[in-house]
């Protein structure tokens, strides 16, 4: 018995809820009263004027909307204000500000990271044991600084032997020159046959060749000895790998690796939409995630796009004399690609018309006019846009309460130096 009582009460509550929901409306697509709206009973019956709907409407249960209510629901706030003011004969007061056409900088922000100008390995040009390592990881070196010293071995003795051979060859050359002079003098006095001139000239040429050979041997011996001193070819920071004292370096073995950080290179990509503006020599500003800044210029623009991103790799070099900007740091580079005419506006003056088009509302001869704009860039000072005339009075306060073609009263707002370059205090609206 208790079960039947509970079951009956549930059915009664369910029926009451169904009747209550049935008296409501279903709005299709959120279009508002009279536009996509149907009663729930009408949807169930398949007819807005079925017997149940008619009975509920006669009982005053179903909601009904007059044509005036439907039209008012469709109106925007600005249209309602305009209609109210039109009926009362009053006009809306708005504030305007004059904006002049300016030269708008075309700046493209690239995202990427810093890379070293080069990673240079200082290698041994001869095989020898490492005698001394003069640097450690992280040391800053200049071009020509000594990095590693190799054991000279017998190279110093080879230099001394080559020097002795050169001295002997030079003595032979001096003797050959003396023989030539003596022979010439004897032949001139008729004391030596004429056919002896050829032999002394050949001897002199042989002595000169021996001197050249001995000099080359000495140069090679000295160069081999100099190869035991490994020096830095570029300036930068020392990083691994670094040779160990006492280890054997073969020819081509690495003594130390130097990261060249001056200049530092920013690697990024330019979108294909902006590639026609990109070129080498453009000024750029670097800003890293570590709040470091530098100025430089574009040094490389790729001729072909990346297959995956359809963007063009670029490189920008920045001076980094103190090596404070490290390699591999995430950064942005702002490249100045020139300028074009535009207007710098505060974001607050931008609005949408009934079709969803972005633009501004201005006043021309007391009449509101909507002008579409195109946003070019967004800066801290405002938004750069194109599509406006040379000079325009834009509504800065009250633009959401007026419509295109409405008559308004205007009051000029104080103009900031950042926008038009002048400053005046206008009358209140």
**Residue 155, Cα to own-chain centre: how many angstroms?**
53
Average pLDDT over residues 207-231: 89
**Structure token pair of residue 28:** 């299709």
Residue 106 CA: distances (Å) to CA of 278, 302, 311, 326, 337: 11, 21, 19, 29, 5
d(CA 2, CA 231): 102
243 near 113, Cβ under 8 Å?
no
Per-residue confidence (pLDDT) for residue 23, from 0 to 100: 56
Q: How far apart are CA 237 and CA 412, in angstroms?
A: 61
Q: How much is the pLDDT for 340?
A: 84
Cα distances (Å, whole numbers) of residue 220 to 156, 160, 163, 209, 212: 12, 12, 11, 17, 12
Q: Determine the pLDDT at residue 2.
A: 63
Distance, CA of 289 to CA of 333 (rounded, Å): 11
Report the C-alpha gap between 49 and 55 in whole angstroms. Answer: 9
pLDDT given at position 293: 92
β pairing state of 92-100 and 408-412: parallel
pLDDT band, very low/low/confident/very high, at 297 (cuts 50, 70, 90): very high
Residue 160 pLDDT greater than 80, yes or no = yes
Fold of 152-227: Helix Hairpins (1.10.287)
For residues 334 and 339, the model is more confident at 334
Write out pLDDT tens, residues 254-289.
999 999 988 899 999 988 887 888 889 999 999 999
Contact at 8 Å (CB) between 363 and 40?
no
8 A C-beta contact, residue 293 and residue 285: yes
Omega before residue 241 within 30° of 0, cis: yes
Asked if residue 38 has pLDDT above 70, the reply is: no
Name the phi and psi angles at 100, rounded to 5.
-105, 155
Top CATH class of 82-101+346-412 equals mainly beta
Among the listed ranges 71-85, 139-153, 255-269, which one has the minimum average pLDDT value? 71-85
**DSSP structure class, residue 42:** H
The residues spanned by each domain of the chain are 2-74, 82-101+346-412, 106-150+230-339, 152-227
Chain segment 92-103, per-residue pLDDT in tens: 788 999 999 998
- Per-residue pLDDT of 81-95, as tens digits, reads 555 555 444 567 889
Residue 1 has what pLDDT?
60
State the Cα–Cα distance between residues 373 and 149, nearest whole angstrom.
Answer: 69
- Of 219, 100, 114, give the one whose Cα is nearest residue 158: 219
391-414: average pLDDT: 82
pLDDT value of residue 267: 93
Pick the range with the lowest mean pLDDT from 11-15, 76-80, 273-277, 307-311. Answer: 76-80
Is domain 106-150+230-339 in CATH 3.90.1300.10, yes or no?
Answer: no
Q: Are 283 and 297 in contact (CB under 8 A)?
A: yes
Mean pLDDT, residues 24-36 taken together: 51
**What's the pLDDT score for residue 359?**
93
Question: Which has more pLDDT, 366 or 34?
Answer: 366
- Cis upstream peptide for 234 (omega within 30°): no
Name the band, by pLDDT with cuts 50, 70 and 90, for residue 427: very low
Share of the chain above pLDDT 90, in %: 25
416: helix, strand or coil? coil
Q: Whose CA is closest to 317, among 283, 292, 278, 342? A: 283
List the one residue out of 110, 129, 116, 337 whose CA is nearest residue 246.
129
- Over range 305-309, report the average pLDDT: 89
Residue 333's pLDDT band (cuts 50, 70, 90): very high
- pLDDT above 60 for 78: no
- Find the helix packing angle between 155-188 and 197-226, rounded to 10°: 160
Spatial CA neighbour of 230 closest among 121, 135, 123, 136: 123
Whole-Å CA distances, 218 to 44, 205, 211, 235: 111, 20, 10, 31
Residue 380's pLDDT is what? 84
Answer yes or no: are the C-beta atoms of 385 and 63 closer than 8 Å: no
Nearest to 238 by CA among 137, 383, 128: 137
**In the structure, what pLDDT confidence band is assigned to residue 407 with cuts at 50, 70 and 90?**
confident
DSSP 347-366: GGG-EE-TT--EEEEEEETT
pLDDT attached to residue 312: 93
* Residues in Cβ contact with 398 at an 8 Å cutoff, skipping those fewer than 6 apart: 92, 93, 94, 95, 408, 429
User: DSSP label at 419?
Assistant: T
Structure tokens at 365: 């001869």
Please state, as a whole number, how many other Cβ atoms lie within 10 Å of the Cβ of residue 428: 9
Is 231 in contact with 189 (CB distance < 8 Å)? no
Q: Which residues pair with 119 in a beta bridge?
A: 259
């Amino acid at each position: 018995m208790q079960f039947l009582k509970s079951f009956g009460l549930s059915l009664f509550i369910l029926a009451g809820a169904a009747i209550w929901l049935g008296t409501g409306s279903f709005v299709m697509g959120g279009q508002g009263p009279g536009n996509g709206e149907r009663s729930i009973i009408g949807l169930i019956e398949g007819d807005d004027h079925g017997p149940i709907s008619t009975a509920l409407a006669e009982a005053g249960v179903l909601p009904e909307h007059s044509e005036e209510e439907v039209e008012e629901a469709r109106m925007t706030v600005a249209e309602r204000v305009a209609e109210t003011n039109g009926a009362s004969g009053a006009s809306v007061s708005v504030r305007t500000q004059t904006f002049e056409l300016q030269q708008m900088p075309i700046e493209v922000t690239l995202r990427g990271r810093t890379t070293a100008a080069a990673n240079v390995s200082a290698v041994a040009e001869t095989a020898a044991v490492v005698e001394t390592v003069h640097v450690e990881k992280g040391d800053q070196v200049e071009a020509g600084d000594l990095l590693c010293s190799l054991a000279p071995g017998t190279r110093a003795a080879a230099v001394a032997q080559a020097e002795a051979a050169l001295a002997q060859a030079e003595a032979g050359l001096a003797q050959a020159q003396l023989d030539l002079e003596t022979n010439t003098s004897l032949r001139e006095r008729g004391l030596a046959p004429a056919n002896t001139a050829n032999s002394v000239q050949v001897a002199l040429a042989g002595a000169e060749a021996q001197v050249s050979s001995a000099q080359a041997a000495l140069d090679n011996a000295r160069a081999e000895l100099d190869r035991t001193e490994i020096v830095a070819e570029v300036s930068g920071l020392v990083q691994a790998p670094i040779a160990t004292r006492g280890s054997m370096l073969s020819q081509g073995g690495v003594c130390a690796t130097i990261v060249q950080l001056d200049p530092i290179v920013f690697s990024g990509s330019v979108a294909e939409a902006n590639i026609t503006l990109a070129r080498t020599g453009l000024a750029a500003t670097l800003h890293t995630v570590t709040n470091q800044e530098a100025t430089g210029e574009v040094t490389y623009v790729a001729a072909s796009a990346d297959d995956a991103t359809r963007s063009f790799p670029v490189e920008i070099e920045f001076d980094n004399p103190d090596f404070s900007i490290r390699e591999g740091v995430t950064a942005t580079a702002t490249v100045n690609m020139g300028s074009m005419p535009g207007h710098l506006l505060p974001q607050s003056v931008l609005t949408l018309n009934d079709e969803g088009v972005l633009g501004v509302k201005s006043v021309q001869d007391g009449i509101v006019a909507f002008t579409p704009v195109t946003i070019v860039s967004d800066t801290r000072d405002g938004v750069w846009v194109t599509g406006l005339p040379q000079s325009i009075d834009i509504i800065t306060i009250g633009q959401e309460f007026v419509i295109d073609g409405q008559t308004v009263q205007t009051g000029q707002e104080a103009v900031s130096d950042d926008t038009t370059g002048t400053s005046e205090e206008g009358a209140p609206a």
